[in-house]
């Protein structure tokens, strides 16, 4: 999941740079209308379809997490989750502008750390079954000491964390376009980190469980 480094060759860098009318050089974007690569752009109109371009549209990310210092981390996180899960077309348009790999990795780590405690809730339910298979004789007597049982529990907890880290990194491996330009390849790797937003659904499970419990309790009270 390594992000490839851009070449230091001035000629190559010039080919991978869009030049706006005010003289600014930015990483090349893609036209929002026809997905034409805007590398070497010298005006504010797409040379392929004629779409009028906004310089801010080419450089500013629409991912809320990138703007978390301005809008707040809590709102930025959940807005990003909503963007990924329900605004697929808008999320896809992020291919047309630079994407920060550092911001994407931080979002992935926050999601892992938030989902990890909920994964551990299932460990106490699974651990007795694991211990019963590994450390109990047919008569029910423990074969291993408490230290071994604690070690098994620690290994299960660590394995759960490593599993989350691996699962959230996998989408980037499948999110690569075929024979992409270097800039587009790096954006695909970064955007792949944001797809772990689906894990945020686990954070809502206690809320949904509580609402369902209250609903069932209210129905039971209302019934004669």
Mean pLDDT of 101-106: 90
pTM here is 0.59
User: What average pLDDT is seen over the chain?
Assistant: 70
Sequence-separated contacts (24+) of 103-107 with Cβ below 8 Å: 103/63, 103/65, 103/66, 103/190, 104/190, 104/191, 104/192, 104/193, 104/194, 105/193, 106/65, 107/65, 107/77, 107/80, 107/193, 107/194, 107/196, 107/197
Of 8-12, 109-113, 125-129, give the lowest mean pLDDT range. 8-12
Nearest one of 174, 32, 41 to 97, comparing CA atoms:
32
- Amino acid 135: pLDDT: 54
- For 16-75, write each residue's pLDDT tens digit: 444 444 444 445 566 766 767 776 677 777 888 887 777 666 666 778 888 888 888 998
Structure tokens at 36: 């034409």
The DSSP bridge partners found for residue 52 are 45
């Amino acid at each position: 999941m390594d992000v490839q480094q851009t070449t230091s060759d001035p000629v190559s860098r010039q080919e991978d740079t869009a030049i706006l009318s005010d003289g600014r050089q930015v990483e090349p974007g893609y036209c929002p209308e026809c997905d034409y690569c805007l590398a070497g752009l010298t005006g504010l109109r797409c040379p392929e379809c004629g779409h009028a371009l906004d310089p801010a549209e080419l450089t500013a990310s629409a991912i809320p997490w990138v703007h978390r210092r301005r809008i707040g981390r809590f709102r930025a996180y959940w807005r990003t989750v909503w963007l990924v899960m329900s605004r697929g077309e808008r999320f896809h348009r992020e291919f047309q502008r630079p994407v920060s790999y550092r911001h994407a990795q931080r979002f992935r780590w926050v999601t892992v750390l938030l989902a990890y405690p909920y994964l551990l809730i299932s460990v106490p339910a699974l651990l007795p079954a694991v211990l019963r298979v590994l450390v109990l004789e047919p008569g029910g007597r423990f074969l291993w000491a408490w230290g071994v049982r604690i070690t098994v529990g620690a290994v299960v907890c660590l394995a759960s964390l490593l599993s989350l880290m691996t699962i959230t990194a996998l989408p980037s491996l499948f999110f690569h376009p075929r024979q992409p330009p270097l800039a587009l390849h790096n954006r695909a790797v970064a955007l792949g980190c944001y797809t772990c937003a689906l894990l945020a659904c686990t954070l809502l499970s206690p809320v949904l469980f509580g609402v369902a419990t209250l609903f069932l309790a209210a129905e039971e009270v209302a019934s004669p």
